[in-house]
Homo-oligomer: A and B are copies of this chain.
Amino acid sequence: MSGSFVLRISLGELATRFGCELVGGEPDTPVERVATLVDAGPGTISFYTNSAYRKVLGDTRASAVILSARDAKDCPVAALISRDAYAVFARIAALLHPAPPHRPGIHPGAVIDESVSVPPSAYVGPLAIISAGAVIGENAYIGPNCVVGERCTVGPDSKLVASVTLVEDVQIGKRCIIHPGAVIGGDGFGNAMTPDGWLKVPQLGGVRIGDDVEIGCNTTVDRGAIGDTVICNGVRLDNLIQIAHNVRLGEHTAIAAMVAIAGSTEIGARCMMAGKVGVAGHIRMCDDVIVMGNSMITKDVTEPGLYSGTFAAEKDRDWKRQVARFKRLEELARRVAQLEKAGEIDE
């Protein structure tokens, strides 16, 4: 745990504050930290939302567990019952383990262009670079080793954790978190074939990121070719994701690691993509689409729902046999057709 600060709070107060029902426990039992079901002991609070852990729930020694009414019967200790157990857990974890507030100020090892005015409430860490024309908002946090390129804006209360690179013409809204290694505003992949080889197509747009967006480690978001690449409010991106030029991600869309979205594709609001999904370029995806891991989206998706298109692994010899059969499906179909024809003659 990162914090050394300790807060004790009673189950009764947690129930009141977060609208839970307390079942099977004393309201004045104190808790002071969160724990996994397995590691929990007295003074800890845990949560249960995934039935794969039912056995573990039965053995927990937590002071209390946050869970749904349906699961309360399986809970051997005090239960804080909520319809939104995971969200309540997130709020209680944030209450018990608050991130330490950043100390404002500019590290003497930072390199800040003379044209830039950093507000006194902001923090600029060691060896951070802030370039000409950049704008830093109130309470913004520019971590160590970050590069804020020319004409970039980091909005109020936003945080570049460390080693983030904003290349040029990147606008970041309020309360965003950008994790280390992320590169935002790099040139899009634009190349025109000529008899002499590839000709670079100038990448002239920027990146516009809304409020409350989080972008994971080593994720890349390219600048637009002409217009901007756009990431709307509340979007969540995991690590090692590729967002190509002129992509638009709708509000509250969440994307897991190693997804690649090709150029000019527009993803709707509240979509979710599991890891390793690929989306082709110039696609439109409507709101409220969920895509399972490793799937490829190559056509417009116009209807909300759950989409998938991949195989799970199995024993290598079984898989190879299936693939061999798959490759001979034409032959199989021909044989069936022949049988049907023979049947017709018989009749």
Contact = CB atoms under 8 A, between A and B. Distances in A.
B147 A167 contact: no
Residue with the greatest number of chain B CB neighbours at <10 A, chosen from A129, A202, A339? A202
14 contacts: A2-B150, A84-B193, A89-B192, A91-B199, A161-B167, A163-B163, A165-B180, A186-B239, A197-B252, A198-B254, A216-B220, A217-B222, A240-B240, A322-B330
Nearest to A306: B316
A52 B189 contact: no
Contacts of A314: 307-309
A207 to B, nearest CB: 12
B311 A310 contact: yes
Contacts of A97: 202, 204
A144 B126 contact: no
Nearest to A213: B198
A212 interface: yes
A325 B319 contact: no
Given A1-B205, A238-B244, 4 more contacts: A163-B165, A276-B276, A307-B313, A329-B329
A271 interface: no
A216 B183 CA distance: 10
Interface string A126-158: 110101000000000000110101110000000
A321 B151 CA distance: 50
Interface stretch (A24-32, A73-81, A292-300): A292-300
B192 A93 contact: no
Contact of A236 (B186, B191, B326, B335): B191
A220 B240 contact: yes
A266 interface: no
Contact of A260 (B127, B240, B297): B240
A127 to B, nearest CB: 6
A286 interface: no
A145 B168 contact: no
Nearest to A238: B189
Interface string A106-118: 0101010000000
A202 B100 CA distance: 12
Interface string A47-64: 000101000000000000
B340 A316 contact: no
Give the interface size class of chain A: 35 or more
A87 B199 contact: yes
Contacts of A205: 1
A296 B179 CA distance: 27
A256 interface: yes
A93 B204 contact: yes
Given A129-B127, A311-B309, A294 B316 contact: no
A326 B339 CA distance: 20
A249 interface: no
Residue with the greatest number of chain B CB neighbours at <10 A, chosen from A91, A165, A256, A333? A165
Contacts of A238: 189, 242, 244
A70 interface: no
Interface string A232-257: 01101011101010000001101011
